[in-house]
């Protein structure tokens, strides 16, 4: 029996190491700033992440394009800025988990709340209709032979198309792939999400509130310290979930031969962190364990989430499509390092605004299009945070410090921060003559960026919806056409930008199910005579086509 097991192990190892393409694993947590030990903050005890960091390259200048999840995730999955996709507003519909919600309410964007754009036009739920040529990047991996899984959050501002993933549900796992097939697997961990600051309130704190550091923009009170301790305690719970995934990889003999990414989808969950365009909302922890941990240390290059899609394709030796705005920072297609990153801030739930940012290694520049509005947005969801209402009461009673009141004040048309000497971005230098040269340089960089990139916020969200959903009706993808040429099946869809999925069955009784293993159509296929072929087409943001059954 031992010899039999050893033989299986050897054969499995041969299959793994004979792959030409590396396995890639993403472990994505939510709502965390770089407040982990590898960044100098030892408040939370994270032994799993500590060990992973020791075997990884730890990146110190990685930023989300928006300080909230859905717009940022749209950039991650496409390699395009939310402002160029039309996905910059939080949130469009409620396509959060798995294959997403494909039915949208026509009356309100948020239950019980009238939501309007900056021009006062009422808004409704919608799926973002992005440019026709833009795809979810795992589709390119699938076409090149990868098994791609997502467990389980999507939240792209559009329903995940069926062509994006081999598996996209709570059971999705690399273990479900065919033997020897390279995989790209994403695991999303929600325990550190903003909502867990109140949903986990009944769990014991594993971090002492008296031991936490309180940033200067928050009042140092019992309520604040308890909320911060809850967050750090959630980080410790997250570390245990990471351990489960890492241990599964080791059990399968895949740890050394898998490139592991760990990062957060944007900055921390506390007031004046999430939804903000400052470092507190954009700066994230980010590390990569290479094959056999051959590259370790720290790296300070500027990286944006739009760089992730081309980088993964580059690691797999796949050329990124020209529409991607990011640059690969690893792999065979590695590009030139960024000198800066771009970020945006628009509507968050029921409050609209518009701010743009350029961040270099030293400076952060903001352009505020509505300086008369306050920095603080009275978002109802955030008021569930235990410390939020006490903080608002302190504001009303004039009990906050000058640094804490900045968040509640109006903006200037421009802001400039020295991030090295002012890591909390509290001292606006835009009107300081000492920094005139730096301000002019950052302003010129911003204008150059805007000149070369589409910013769909300029047309207003209501107009954007109307362009994608004429007369308020979601467009529908045309059904798949089929023809035979030289004994092969060729599939086509007349809808521009549509992708096609198919599955083969022995009988015509199977019902459509997103969790079935639908194959991506990327080239003509051979199918035995007498089989049944199911096809479906889908363009991102459109309603999917009807499922067509073909008898062969």
Confidence tier at 455 by pLDDT (50, 70, 90): very high
pLDDT of residue 15: 40
Average pLDDT over residues 396-404: 98
Residue 274, phi then psi, degrees to nearest 5 = -60, 140
Average pLDDT over residues 512-526: 92
DSSP labels, 119-135: TS-B---------TT--
Q: Bigger pLDDT: 511 or 475?
A: 475
Q: Bigger pLDDT: 93 or 197?
A: 197
> Where are the strands (E) in 315-474, listed by range?
341-345, 355-359, 363-368, 414-418
Average pLDDT over residues 233-244: 98
Is the per-residue pLDDT at 379 higher than 60? yes
Q: Bigger pLDDT: 341 or 529?
A: 341
Query: For residue 364, what are the β-bridge partners?
Result: 359, 417
Q: Bigger pLDDT: 126 or 4?
A: 126
Is the per-residue pLDDT at 140 higher than 60? yes
Distance, in Å, from the CA atom of 402 to the CA atom of 129, rounded to the nearest integer, reads 43
Is the per-residue pLDDT at 11 higher than 60? no
Residues in CB range of 147: below 8 A, 6 or more apart: 166, 174, 176, 177, 178, 181, 182, 183, 184
Average pLDDT over residues 42-56: 98
Confidence tier at 107 by pLDDT (50, 70, 90): low
Is the per-residue pLDDT at 13 higher than 60? no
What is the CATH code of the structural domain delimited by 19-102+128-338?
3.40.720.10
Confidence tier at 391 by pLDDT (50, 70, 90): very high
Pick from 531, 524, 532, 434: which is nearest to 485 by CA? Answer: 524
Task: Tell me the whole-structure pTM to 2 decimals.
Answer: 0.94
Are the beta carbons of 448 and 107 closer than 8 angstroms?
no
Query: For residue 366, what are the β-bridge partners?
Result: 357, 415
pLDDT of residue 3: 37
Is the per-residue pLDDT at 285 higher than 80? yes
Average pLDDT over residues 317-330: 98
Percent of the residues in the chain that have a pLDDT greater than 70, as a whole number: 95
pLDDT of residue 12: 40
Average pLDDT over residues 54-64: 98
Average pLDDT over residues 408-422: 97
Q: Bigger pLDDT: 103 or 419?
A: 419
Is the per-residue pLDDT at 275 higher than 80? yes
Q: What is the pLDDT of residues 152-196, one digit of tens each?
A: 999 999 999 999 999 999 999 999 999 989 999 999 999 999 999
Active-site residues: which are they? 69
pLDDT of residue 100: 83
Question: Lowest-confidence range among 11-25, 245-259, 371-385?
Answer: 11-25
**Residue 173 to residues 141, 186, 187, 232, Cα–Cα distance (Å):** 16, 8, 9, 28
Are the beta carbons of 61 and 263 closer than 8 angstroms?
no
Is the per-residue pLDDT at 4 higher than 90? no
**Are domains 19-102+128-338 and 481-551 of this chain identical in fold?**
no
Confidence tier at 509 by pLDDT (50, 70, 90): confident
Q: Bigger pLDDT: 94 or 535?
A: 535
Is the per-residue pLDDT at 19 higher than 80? no
pLDDT of residue 9: 38
Q: Bigger pLDDT: 260 or 516?
A: 260
Average pLDDT over residues 526-531: 90
pLDDT of residue 5: 36
**Every domain of the chain and the residues it spans:** 19-102+128-338, 355-472, 481-551
Are the beta carbons of 534 and 519 closer than 8 angstroms?
no
Architecture of domain 481-551: Sandwich (2.60)
Give the orientation angle of helix 222-251 with respect to helix 47-54, to 10 degrees. 60
Give the strand pairing for 57-63 and 303-304.
parallel
Torsion of CA 448, 451, 453, 457, to 10 degrees: 120
């Amino acid at each position: 029996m031992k010899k039999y097991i050893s033989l299986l192990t050897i054969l499995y190892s041969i299959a793994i190491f004979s792959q030409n393409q590396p396995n890639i694993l993403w472990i994505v947590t939510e709502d965390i700033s770089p407040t982990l030990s590898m960044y100098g903050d030892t408040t939370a005890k994270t032994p799993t992440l500590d060990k992973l960091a020791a075997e990884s390259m730890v990146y110190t200048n990685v930023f989300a394009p928006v300080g909230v999840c859905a717009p940022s995730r749209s950039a991650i999955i496409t390699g395009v800025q939310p402002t160029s996709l039309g996905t910059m507003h939080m949130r469009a519909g409620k396509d959060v988990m798995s294959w997403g919600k494909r039915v949208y309410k026509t009356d309100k964007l948020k239950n019980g709340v009238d939501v309007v754009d900056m021009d006062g036009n009422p808004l409704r739920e919608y799926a973002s209709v992005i440019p026709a040529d833009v795809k979810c990047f795992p589709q390119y991996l699938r076409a090149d032979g990868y098994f791609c899984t997502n467990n389980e959050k999507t939240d792209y501002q559009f329903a995940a198309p069926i062509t994006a993933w081999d598996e996209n549900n709570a059971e999705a796992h690399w273990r479900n792939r065919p033997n020897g097939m390279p995989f790209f697997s994403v695991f999303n961990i929600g325990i550190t999400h903003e909502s867990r600051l109140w949903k986990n309130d009944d769990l014991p704190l594993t971090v002492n509130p008296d031991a936490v550091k309180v940033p200067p923009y928050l009042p140092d009170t019992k309520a604040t310290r308890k909320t911060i301790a809850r967050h750090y305690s959630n980080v410790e719970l997250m570390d245990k979930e990471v351990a489960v995934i890492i241990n599964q990889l080791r059990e399968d003999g895949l740890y050394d031969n898998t490139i592991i990414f760990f990062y957060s989808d944007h900055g921390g969950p506390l007031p004046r962190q999430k939804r903000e365009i400052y470092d507190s909302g954009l700066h994230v922890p980010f590390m990569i364990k290479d094959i056999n941990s051959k590259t370790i240390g720290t790296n300070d290059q500027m990286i944006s989430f739009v760089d992730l899609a081309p980088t993964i394709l580059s690691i797999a030796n796949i050329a990124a499509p020209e529409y991607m705005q990011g640059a690969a920072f690893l792999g065979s297609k590695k590009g030139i390092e960024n000198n800066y990153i771009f970020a945006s801030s628009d509507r968050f739930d029921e409050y609209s605004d518009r701010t743009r940012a350029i961040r270099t290694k030293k400076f952060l520049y903001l352009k505020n299009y509505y300086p008369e509005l306050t920095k603080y947005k009275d978002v109802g969801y955030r008021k569930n945070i235990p410390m939020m209402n006490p903080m608002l009461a302190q504001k009303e009673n004039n009990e906050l410090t000058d640094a804490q009141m900045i968040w509640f004040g109006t903006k200037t048309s421009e802001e400039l921060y020295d991030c090295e000497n002012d890591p909390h971005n509290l001292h606006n230098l835009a009107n300081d003559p000492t920094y005139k040269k730096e301000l002019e340089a950052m302003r010129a960089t911003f204008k150059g960026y805007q000149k070369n990139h589409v910013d769909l916020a300029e047309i207003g969200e209501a107009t954007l919806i109307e362009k994608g959903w004429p007369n308020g009706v979601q467009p529908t993808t045309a059904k798949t056409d089929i023809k035979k040429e030289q004994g092969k099946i060729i599939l086509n869809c007349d809808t521009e930008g549509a992708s096609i999925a198919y599955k083969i069955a022995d009988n015509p009784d199977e019902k459509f199910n997103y969790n079935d293993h639908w194959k991506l159509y990327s080239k003509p296929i051979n199918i035995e005579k007498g089989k049944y072929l199911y096809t479906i087409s889908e363009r991102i943001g459109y309603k999917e086509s009807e499922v067509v059954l073909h008898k062969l």
